[in-house]
Amino acid sequence: MTSGSFVGNLRRSVSPLELFFDLVFVFAVGQLAHHLHDELSWRGAAETAVMLIAVLSTWALTSFDATFLDVERPLTHRLVLAVMGLGLFMNAQIPHAFGDRPWAFVVPLAAILLLADVTAAIAAPTPVLRRHYRRVTAWALLSVPLWIIGAAMDHTPRLGCWAAAALVDMAGVWLAHPLPGNVLSSRDLTFDAEHMVERIRLFIILQLGETVLTIGTVISDAPVDVATVAAGLGVFVAVVCLCASYFKGGEDILTLHVTTTDDALLPVRHAVSGQYTTLAGVVALAVGAELAISHPTGHGSAEIALLLFGGPILYVITQAWWYYVSTGRAWGVRVLGCLALAAGGVAAVWLPPLASVLILALTLVTLVTALKRVHQQVLTTMTAGI
């Protein structure tokens, strides 16, 4: 056992509390999509991105806490429940954070960052983890004042201040919160990587599930005619394909890689870091689908093209990046798929939204068909090398 281990090599299943926790943060998917739809502009996109980073950063930090500190410990159990309650209020204020309720968004956000980090810095079971969480706390002490100062500003300058805070939080997650001469070495820790792989797996399912709910709400509000039904079915097929791009063999590659690598924490960190663009892709697709289903026979536009095709591109290119940096396999076909999606996005500027949806669905079906074969080949190669 290494000095960073808290339970040796014990493999824990995802607890009901962790899944319940994820539901609170997946609620933010619909809230972010709602904000972007109502503020459909470059500024609205920037505001949505800032709040998305805040949501994802708090999810990532607390998820790692639950794994490192053992969610079955009473203290960790109480910490997760506290973050859930604060997160529910924070996520509920997403549509109003850049309006008249910035404090209702920032106060729970700051409380989550400080509560989770300070608790872990004190209660982590090993010196290695306590040093790590002291570094995490130092990063929070840099971002939290920026969040607070931004809340005190008017609407226009608030975006810049909050964007700086969000970049600090995201960079901390990406880089594992280093300080000069004081960084986390993944090899110093025995980490339950399989547990976090399962957390990521369930979180992706919940994200896509929330997207289906958003799309279903749009369909229920739209008139029942052939064009609306066809657009709704096309978007549904696209969401199913995004799900299959990971779960048709892709998750097996991730699981096999983290169980055979010498540094199990590193690929999991990469996978968690990739959730920022994955979630952004899901939110963009949800808004693009809402626009397309609401007016399936209308005129194409740059907005629909960027959202309807840009969302899946973000989702798929994130997968390509992870496979490239972690296994060096199964990434090329994803890049080709993104190029095909980009070509479809160009055409969508001039095509009716229904035609764009059908092109999107056809492109993703083709990609998933190719990925199924590629995943089988990669798994065969990886298994043979063990």
SS (H, E, C) the chain: CCCCCCCCCCCCCCCHHHHHHHHHHHHHHHHHHHHHHHCCCHHHHHHHHHHHHHHHHHHHHHHHHHHHCCCCCHHHHHHHHHHHHHHHHHHHCHHHCCCCCHHHHHHHHHHHHHHHHHHHHHHCCCHHHHHHHHHHHHHHHHHHHHHHHHHHCCHHHHHHHHHHHHHHHHHHHHHCCCECCECCCHHHCCCCHHHHHHHHHHHHHHHHHHHHHHHHHHHHHCCCCHHHHHHHHHHHHHHHHHHHHHHCCHHHHHHHHHHHCCCCHHHHHHHHHCHHHHHHHHHHHHHHHHHHHHCCCCCCCHHHHHHHHHHHHHHHHHHHHHHHHHCCCCCHHHHHHHHHHHHHHHHHCCCCHHHHHHHHHHHHHHHHHHHHHHHHHHHHHHHHCC
What's the token pair of residue 204? 């992706």
The confidence score (pLDDT) of residue 366 equals: 96
Name residue 179's beta-bridge partners.
182
Q: What is the pLDDT along the chain (386 residues), one digit of tens a residue?
A: 333 333 344 567 788 889 889 988 888 888 999 999 999 999 999 999 999 999 999 999 999 988 888 888 899 999 999 999 999 999 999 999 999 999 999 999 999 999 999 999 998 888 888 999 999 999 999 999 999 999 999 988 999 999 999 999 999 999 989 998 888 776 667 778 888 888 888 888 888 888 888 888 888 888 888 999 999 999 999 999 999 998 877 778 888 888 788 788 888 889 999 999 999 999 999 999 999 999 999 898 999 999 999 999 999 999 999 999 888 888 999 999 999 999 999 999 999 999 999 999 999 999 999 998 988 888 888 887 66
Among residues 330, 238, 324, the alpha carbon closest in space to that of 274 is found at 324
The confidence score (pLDDT) of residue 4 equals: 38
The confidence score (pLDDT) of residue 11 equals: 62
The confidence score (pLDDT) of residue 72 equals: 85
